[in-house]
Amino acid sequence: MTAAISASGLVKSFGRTRALDGLDLSVDTGAIHGFLGPNGAGKTTTLRILLGLLRADAGDVQLLGGDPWRDAVALHRRLAYVPGDVTLWPELSGGEVIDLLGRLRGGFDARRRASLLERFDLDPTKKCGTYSKGNRQKVALIAALASDVELLLLDEPTSGLDPLMEAQFREIVMEERAGNRTVLLSSHILAEVEAVCDRVTIIRAGQTVESGTLAELRHLTQTSVTAELAGPPSGLAELPGVHDLQVDGTRVRCQVDAGELNAVLGQLTAAGVRNLVTQPPTLEELFMRHYRTDAQAGDDPSRGHPEVAR
């Protein structure tokens, strides 16, 4: 399979801030690729480099077989972009903006436009100045989805959408899978990415930390277990898939891999459960753990030890 996007060693600094610090990203043609990271990780900067709006300080980047900086106009005929914070011209109506952006891109499907308007429940006659954030987001999404392009670059496209519209968006992206379009979906909502993406790249502080299929990354989805027991537990440490075990008398805390939950619960009930809380980890917790591991191992001297840095 060929790569629709391949970037390696991307570096981009804004003054003293290093937004990208050797980022790698590879997106296969036809894949729906999740691009995950907390706020400020460099997702938007990466997308802007892919669009040729920013020029990388170092690194190689190829988009649809071209150079995004040099061949911007030719490449943009073949892609559509939805920015994370959509701003539109207040004096134009939503319908006008959808048509204008579609025409500037080189044409769009009028039937698809009509059906998307209906599915997203958007009134195209309102002036953009009076739209809410969610409605502005819908305008940009419809303009992008209605155009007949090979690649969709979506930067946190569901921020501002209500849950109903979010579900609608997921459904539409799932349909794109059948249409053989490539989608790069930047997000910080793990559930959204899990629901629609084939492959995922996770970045932090301008660097790629994980990249692979969801199955490969499944180990990231550990469940956090906190239990209050009748007596002290036994045998938990020996079980496979148990991490970060803390036993404090009859209180137990640990992280458990998705497949191993049953065995852990068996050991807990054997000791007698008084109270039990289980919780899937948030994305933030995953990143926090990456951060802690780095700091303890001291494998990145440039970053420094948090205690020392403070």
Partner 1 sequence: MTALAGTGPLVRLCLRRDRLKLLIYVLVVGAIPIGMAAAYKVLYPTAAGLQAFADLSMSTPATVGMLGLIYAPTVGALTAWRAGLNGMFFIAPVSILLIVRYTRAEEAVGRRELLGGSVVGRQAPLTAALIVVCAVDLLLGVFIAAGLISLGLSAAGAVVMGLSAAAAGWVFAALAAVTAQLTVSPGPARGMALVMFALSWLVRAVGDLGRAQGLAWLSWLSPLGWVRLTRAFADEQWWVFVLFVALGAALAAMAYALSARRDLAAGILPVPVGPAEAAPALNSPRALAWRLHRGGLLGWSVAAAGFGLLLGIVGVSMAGFVDAPQMQAWAQRMGAHDAGDAFLFLTMFVLGQVISVYAILAALRLRSEEVEGRAEAVLATAVSRLRWALSHVTIAALGPAVLLIVLGLTIGLGYGLTAHNLVQDSPRLLHRTLLTLPAIWVVAGIAVALYGWLPRRAAALTWAAFAVFLALELGWELQQVSQSLFNISPFAHVHWSIQVTAAPLLGLTALAAVLAAIGLLGLQRRDVG
Beta-carbon contacts of residue 23 (< 8 Å; ≥ 6 apart): 7, 9, 10, 11, 42, 46, 59, 203, 206, 207, 208
Q: For residues 191-230, which are near partner 1 according to CB under 8 A? A: none
What is the C-alpha to C-alpha distance for residues 279 and 94, in angstroms, rounded to an integer?
41
How near is the Cβ of 74 to partner 1 at its closest, in Å?
Answer: 8
Under the criterion CB under 8 A, does residue 99 sit at the interface with partner 1?
A: yes
CB 157 within 8 A of CB 120: no
Three-class secondary structure of residue 293 per DSSP:
helix
Beta-carbon contacts of residue 284 (< 8 Å; ≥ 6 apart): 38
Region binding partner 1 by CB under 8 A among candidate stretches 100-108, 220-228, 273-281, 300-308: 100-108
Measured from the Cβ of residue 131, the count of other Cβ atoms closer than 10 Å reads: 21
Exactly one of 9, 95, 134, 241 binds partner 1 (CB under 8 A); which one? 95
What is the C-alpha to C-alpha distance for residues 40 and 203, in angstroms, rounded to an integer?
10
Exactly one of 119, 126, 170, 290 binds partner 1 (CB under 8 A); which one? 126
What is the C-alpha to C-alpha distance for residues 154 and 265, in angstroms, rounded to an integer?
40
Exactly one of 41, 86, 183, 256 binds partner 1 (CB under 8 A); which one? 86
Under the criterion CB under 8 A, does residue 251 sit at the interface with partner 1?
A: no
Q: For residues 65-84, which are near partner 1 according to CB under 8 A? A: 72-74, 76-77, 79-81, 83
CA distances from 290 to 127, 196, 212, 271, 295 (A): 45, 24, 17, 32, 9
Exactly one of 65, 90, 231, 298 binds partner 1 (CB under 8 A); which one? 90
| Residue 239, both tokens | 């079980």
How near is the Cβ of 63 to partner 1 at its closest, in Å?
Answer: 12
Under the criterion CB under 8 A, does residue 138 sit at the interface with partner 1?
A: no
CB 156 within 8 A of CB 134: no
Nearer residue to partner 1 within complex by CB, 143 or 271: 143
Region binding partner 1 by CB under 8 A among candidate stretches 21-29, 31-39, 120-128, 225-233: 120-128
Exactly one of 103, 219, 243, 274 binds partner 1 (CB under 8 A); which one? 103
At residue 298, φ and ψ (nearest 5 deg) are 65, 30
* Sheet containing 32-36: order of strands: 79-82, 151-155, 182-187, 32-36, 199-204, 207-213
Q: For residues 259-278, which are near partner 1 according to CB under 8 A? A: none
Nearer residue to partner 1 within complex by CB, 14 or 278: 14
Residues 42-61, mask of contacts with partner 1 (x by CB under 8 A): ------x--x-xxx------
Under the criterion CB under 8 A, does residue 136 sit at the interface with partner 1?
A: no
Measured from the Cβ of residue 67, the count of other Cβ atoms closer than 10 Å reads: 13
Under the criterion CB under 8 A, does residue 17 sit at the interface with partner 1?
A: no
How near is the Cβ of 77 to partner 1 at its closest, in Å?
Answer: 4
Nearer residue to partner 1 within complex by CB, 100 or 273: 100
Three-class secondary structure of residue 100 per DSSP:
helix
How near is the Cβ of 194 to partner 1 at its closest, in Å?
Answer: 27
Under the criterion CB under 8 A, does residue 254 sit at the interface with partner 1?
A: no
User: Which positions touch partner 1 (CB under 8 A)?
Assistant: 48, 51, 53-55, 72-74, 76-77, 79-81, 83, 85-93, 95-101, 103-106, 124-127, 129-130, 140
